[in-house]
Amino acid sequence: MRKSTKFSPELRERAIRLVGEQRAEHESQWAAIVSIAGKMRRHPFDEYNYYLKELDTMKVLMLVVLVSLGLAGCFSPQSRKAEMQRIGEACMSSNAEMADVIPCLNKHGVELGEPLHGEYSSVTCGPYWGWPFLASCGGLRVKAVSDRVASWEPWAYLDGP
């Protein structure tokens, strides 16, 4: 049966840091580990195995972080349209004045562009569930007559190559 050697967390962190710092000074990663283990009076296999285990743990953690970050701002077109519907209902009523509607929409992160033939429009795009080449876009179309809301509608689509 193998005897498992326990090292203090400080010693482990120091060994890993030293291998990273001194890797360039040696022919290989193994040579750096052997050199550092000799200085720390440990068997090289102990440090090497710990280093690989820590490296695997870091890879998994980085993958979790990257996936979480990738999905954090992602919306499907359906959820983006539902969000715009909710914002529109909160800010607009029939015959509401545009002077009141625009600050309310801005408060919710929706910026209307300049009106074109009495129609205002907003566009918001973001990643679609982590696909780097697809974007989920959505927004609001607001038709105004005499600076009052005549009608409005949310819209959304999936954009890509």
Q: Please give the chain's pLDDT, 161 residues, in tens.
A: 455 556 677 877 888 888 888 888 888 888 887 777 777 665 556 666 666 677 777 777 776 666 655 555 567 788 889 989 999 999 988 788 999 999 999 998 898 888 888 899 998 887 776 566 788 888 999 999 888 999 999 999 888 76
* C-alpha to C-alpha distance for 89 and 93, rounded to whole angstroms: 7
CATH topology match: 9-72 vs 77-159: no
Q: What's the pLDDT score for residue 95?
A: 81
Which SS3 state, helix, strand or coil, does residue 31 take?
Answer: helix
Give the number of other Cβ atoms within 10 Å of residue 152's Cβ. 22
Domain ranges of the chain: 9-72, 77-159
Report the greatest alpha carbon distance in the chain.
Answer: 87
CATH architecture of 9-72: Orthogonal Bundle (1.10)
Fold of the domain spanning 77-159: Nuclear Transport Factor 2; Chain: A, (3.10.450)
* C-alpha to C-alpha distance for 51 and 3, rounded to whole angstroms: 18
